[in-house]
């Protein structure tokens, strides 16, 4: 294992005071960074992409586990820290500086690709939704979210946390919560609990459907989650051959008096397909 200074020293030397605007909560516990790295399959093949390496605790664990890593970090104060790690692992770490929202992660490094990250909470969900546009470009996503988002990603139907994000993620991926991390493990501690979630993209989505239509349907259905589907889907059905929410539900084989949160991912796909058929 190459000799690198302790993370706390590295942070002090770089004057890396946590910047709230960048969602900076650093994970300095080597047991936890090691545990995240060990939960990722196939690390020694292709490219492991890490968004927001910060002072590089997780980066070190990934390299130690045999990964070739490409990082994307917005904070220029991390540049020298990451350069020092790159020197300790020659040819294994490429550090890009910039906003991960403007980077095509599916084009970084060589396949097979996977993303492992302690995500900045303010852009975590947005990043995941973008990566899911091209989900099969990645072998897996192992991501830390605030627990409330992790619960939405993993929620089964008929639970309060089940919503648009659950349907989209579970349609495209096998989604599993791995473990929780106490706020005290971070410097500075966030106000909320965190959970590591692993998403493994399916070769094919759970059921055929057009993503755009599925997203319109779930937006309408969960936008009025207390209403019956015949009511909440009225606007999306209007102007199609099915004309109203009740007929749209019947065409999809779904009970029009059901509420959004009781529907399975497959049933949402059936509604999306019935809507596309009705549009001709």
Which residue's beta carbon is nearest to the bound ligand SAM? 52
Give the list of residues 6+ apart from residue 274 with CB closer than 8 angstroms, or none. 242, 248, 251, 252
**241 with 280: CB under 8 angstroms?**
yes
Q: Which is nearer to ligand SAM, 138 or 268 (CB)?
A: 138
Q: Least distance (Å) from ligand SAM to the CB of residue 32?
A: 9
Q: Does 69 bind ligand SAM (CB under 6 A)?
A: no
- Mark the segment that binds ligand SAM (CB under 6 A) among 17-25, 151-159, 166-174, 220-228: 17-25
Q: Which two tokens stand for residue 186?
A: 């971070």
- Mark the segment that binds ligand SAM (CB under 6 A) among 69-77, 152-160, 172-180, 253-261: 69-77
Residues 205-264 that bind ligand SAM (CB under 6 A): none
CA distance 55 to 47: 20
Give the list of residues 6+ apart from residue 241 with CB closer than 8 angstroms, or none. 278, 279, 280
**Which position among 58, 209, 237, 260 is part of the footprint of ligand SAM (CB under 6 A)?**
58
**233 with 258: CB under 8 angstroms?**
no
Q: Does 24 bind ligand SAM (CB under 6 A)?
A: yes
Q: Does 120 bind ligand SAM (CB under 6 A)?
A: yes
The phi-psi region of residue 53 (left if phi > 0; otherwise alpha if psi is between -120 and 50; otherwise beta) is: alpha
Binding residues for ligand SAM, per CB under 6 A?
Answer: 22-27, 51-54, 57-58, 72-75, 99-101, 118, 120, 123
């Amino acid at each position: 294992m190459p000799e690198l200074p302790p993370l706390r020293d590295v942070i002090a030397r770089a004057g890396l005071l946590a910047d709230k605007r960048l969602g900076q909560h650093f994970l300095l516990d080597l047991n936890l960074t090691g545990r995240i790295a060990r939960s990722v399959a196939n690390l020694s093949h292709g490219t492991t992409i890490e968004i927001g390496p910060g002072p590089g605790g997780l980066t070190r664990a990934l390299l130690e586990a045999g990964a070739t890593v490409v990082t994307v970090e917005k904070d220029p104060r991390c540049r020298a820290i990451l350069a020092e790690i790159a020197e300790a692992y020659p040819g294994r770490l490429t550090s890009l500086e910039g906003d991960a929202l403007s980077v095509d992660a599916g084009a970084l490094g060589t396949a097979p690709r996977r993303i492992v990250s302690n995500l900045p909470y303010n852009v975590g969900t947005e990043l995941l939704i973008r990566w899911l546009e091209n989900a099969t470009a990645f072998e897996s996503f192992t991501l830390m979210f605030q627990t409330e988002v992790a619960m939405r990603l993993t929620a089964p139907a008929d639970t309060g946390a089940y919503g648009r994000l659950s349907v989209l993620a579970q349609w495209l991926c096998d989604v599993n919560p791995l473990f929780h991390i106490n706020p005290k493990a971070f410097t500075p501690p966030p106000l909320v609990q965190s959970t590591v979630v692993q998403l493994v993209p399916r070769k094919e989505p759970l059921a055929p459907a057009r993503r755009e239509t599925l997203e319109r349907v779930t937006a309408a259905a969960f936008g009025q989650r207390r209403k019956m589907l015949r009511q909440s889907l009225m606007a999306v059905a209007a102007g199609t051959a099915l004309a109203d929410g009740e007929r749209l539900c019947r065409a999809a084989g779904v009970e029009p008096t059901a509420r959004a949160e009781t529907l399975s991912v497959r049933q949402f796909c059936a509604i999306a397909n019935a809507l596309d058929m009705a549009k001709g």
